[in-house]
Structure formats: C-alpha cells, structure tokens
Amino acid sequence: MRFVALLTFVLLSGLATASSIMGQDPVPASAGQEQGASIDNQGIRNYLLGPGDVVDVRVFGQPDLNAIAEVDSDGNINSLPFLETPVPAKCRTEKEVQKDIATAYGKYIKNPQVSVRITERKSRQPATVFGAVRQPARVQMQRKVRLNELMAASGGFTERASGTIQILHTEPVMCPEPGEEAEAKPIDGATIPLQLVNISDLKAGKVEANPFIRPGDYVIVTEAEPVYVTGSVTSPQGVYMRDKLTLTLAIAMVGGVKREAKSSDVRIIRQKPGSTEQETIRVDLSAIKKNLKPDVLLQPYDVIEVGETSAFAPNRIIPTLFGGMQSIISNAPLRVLY
C-alpha cells in the first residue's frame, strides 16, 4: 500500500508540473506525441513476445488452420485450431514460435509451411516522461531505449530543470538478459524502485548516468526551485537553482551589482527548516571575489538583498557631485548678453 500511495503521489504531482510547464510555455504537440511517441523501429526484428501481443498464424494450403492469436497472461498461445498443448511464446521471437507451431502441426500434416507475424505489440507499457521537459510524452517501448533517447524524444530540458532526473520503475524486466536477473524479480511494495540521475553526468556521457528505461517507467525531470536577487543589482529577479548554485553565480546571473552597491554587506534571508522564522546571513561579497572568504552555497527560496552605499561614500561622492552640477547647469535660466 505504501508503494501504491507513493506512486499515486508522484504521478499526480508530476502531471501537475507538466501541465504548469505547458501552460507557461506552450509547445504544439504532434499527433504522434498525443497518441504515444515511438522513437524508431531499430532492433524490432529481435522483439521478444509477451502477454497481450497478437500474432497472425498462417499455414500454407490449410486455411482452416489460419488464426489470429493473442499471447495469454501465462505467456502461451493456446487458441490455435486442433492444438491442445499451448505453445510457449513469452520472451521468444516470432521465428522461434513459428518453428514450434510447425512442429506441433507436423503430427497431423506432412511438412507444414507455417508463418507467424506479429500484428500488435501490446505487452510493454509505454514509458512516460514529464516535468522540466519541452514536450511531455509517452514513448512506445518496442526495443531497449536509453535515457538520452527518451530525453531527445521529449524535446530536451527546459531552463527550469534542477539537475536531477527521477526514474520510477513500475514493472519488472520481462525478459532479462544475463546480469539482469535481479531486475526481473517482482517489485516489492516495501521498497521504493526509484533511480536518480544527474543531468550533468548524462550530458558528460557517463555510462552509469544513461541507463536503459523499462517499459512502464515514469521519468520525471525535477523542476528547480527559485532564489530571489533584489536590491542594487542590474536586473533584480528570481533565478532557478542549479547544482551547487553559489552567491557569486546568482549575482552574475542577474547582471552583477551596480556601482553604488554595498558589496561588503550582502544579506541572505533564509527560512529556518521546520519553522516560520527567518534568519539573516551577512556576507562580504567583495572579500569572496578577492578569494579572501569562501563562496556561499544558496538554498531554495533564499532572498538575496544587495544594499546601496551612502551618497557620500568614497565610491559615490564624485558621481554624486558631478550629477548635481549637471542638474544645476541644465536647470539654470539662459541669459543673453547684448
């Protein structure tokens, strides 16, 4: 029950996030994306059958033996004419199944010519990707698909991507290859089948950050939380958190401080965890830039206030006087001498 509740919460919150993204930055979806995108058919010849798949069985010269059959929940085909013994189909190719059907009919027909063709592939649920991506999509899983392919199918990351991808496994691996036996075990409701991947590692080409995505997986690109920069900066605004966002980087993202900024006394207003109270952290930005003090790692929802120096401070006295003289000159009446 804990697993079901967790899954329901993740899906509802993720879908709400996807709706929010699409509402703020709408991207027209093609018909293929609305119905479920398919990356490509590469490797589909090695497709392994599973429960729910449908095959078209033809016996040359014996139209009464032709049939459209579905692989049952046990992974067998048991609805072929005159065959009482089910034909195993799960995790086998159509050619392997074709050979077994020909052998079975060989008891009644001399050298039967049998063909088996997959008409519907329904045994593998699509993978769903949403969150901070440009085109949330459901991708058909007809072959093994890696995470980077799924990201490409969803249009890539938005500027809100926080740097983390969550992969929620809802189904075990149906046809495990050597080394995947553990992933084929039924999912235990007492554990959380969640895998975390750093976007930076994925972009760097690290193999461990580009896993295979299972059918039925939910891939959530988490959204970044904001940090607000106000005061004497070029462009006061909110910026999104990234991996290890520091004070100097946040200031740079809003265009830097103004000339009149009091860089020696920057305030970071931070909410105390589990409390409605706030704390104020005073930072000497000038000392950080001179490598005299370490930079400060920011937290979500921090408010950075950059104050101004006095109009008569050394760094402002000359611009202030010069500006005052310009104002006097421009407002003085024009006298004409004759």
Does 241 share its domain with 206?
no
Rounded to the nearest integer, the mean pLDDT of the chain is 82
pLDDT, greater one: 183 or 61: 61
Q: What is the pLDDT of residues 287-331, one digit of tens each?
A: 999 999 999 999 989 999 999 986 555 555 555 555 555 555 555
- CA–CA dist 130, 78 (Å, integer): 39
Q: What percent of the chain has pLDDT over 70?
A: 77
Task: Compute the distance between CA of residue 70 and CA of residue 116 in angstroms, rounded to an integer.
Answer: 12
Domain membership flag for residue 321: no
**Which one of 223, 247, 264 terminates a domain?**
223
| 261-271 vs 303-308, strand pairing mode | antiparallel
Looking at the fold, whether 163 and 20 belong to one and the same domain comes out as yes
Residue 242 has pLDDT above 90, yes or no: no
49, pLDDT greater than 90? yes
Cα 62 to Cα 84: distance, rounded to the nearest angstrom? 18
Indicate whether 325 belongs to any domain.
no
Q: pTM for the whole thing? A: 0.66
pLDDT (tens digit per residue) in 59-104: 999 999 999 999 999 999 998 999 999 999 999 999 999 999 999 9
State which of 120, 136, 167 marks the end of a domain: 120
Verify that 302 and 171 share a domain, yes or no: no
10 and 96 part of one domain:
no
Residues 67, 191 within the same domain: no
- Select from 223, 248, 264 the last residue of a domain: 223
Q: Mark whether 163 and 81 lie in a shared domain.
A: no
Specify the pLDDT at position 276.
84
Establish if 316 belongs to a structural domain.
Answer: no
Do the Cβ atoms of 210 and 146 come closer than 8 Å?
yes
- Rounded CA-CA distance 87/98 in Å is 10
- At 284, which CATH number? 3.10.560.10
What is the share, in percent, of the chain residues with pLDDT greater than 90?
60
Cα 244 to Cα 337: distance, rounded to the nearest angstrom: 68
* Neighbouring C-alpha atoms within 13 Å toward the C-beta of 102: 13
d(CA 257, CA 292): 19
Residues 209, 266: one domain? no
Q: Total domain count for the chain?
A: 3
Neighbours of 92 (CB within 10 A): 19
More confident residue, 181 or 165: 165
Q: What does DSSP assign to residue 160?
A: T
Structure tokens that stand for 184 in this block? 């084929």
Asked whether residue 111 is assigned to any structural domain, the reply reads yes
| CA angle 242–246–247, rounded 5-degree value | 130
> Tokens 């049939």 sit at which residue?
67
The answer to the question of residue 10 being in a domain is: yes
Tokens linked to 139: 């991708």
DSSP code per residue over 187-205: PPTTS--EEEEEHHHHHTT
Same-domain pairing of 12 and 152: yes
Determine contact, residues 296/280, Cβ cutoff 8 Å.
Answer: no
pLDDT of residue 332: 53
57 and 201 fall within a common domain: no
Lowest mean pLDDT among 5-9, 26-30, 162-166: 26-30
**Is pLDDT larger for residue 16 or for residue 238?**
238
Residue 106 binned pLDDT confidence (cut-offs 50, 70, 90): very high
Considering the domain architecture, whether residues 104 and 195 belong to the same structural domain is answered as no
Q: What is the mean pLDDT of residues 146-157?
A: 93
- Domain interval for residue 67: 48-120
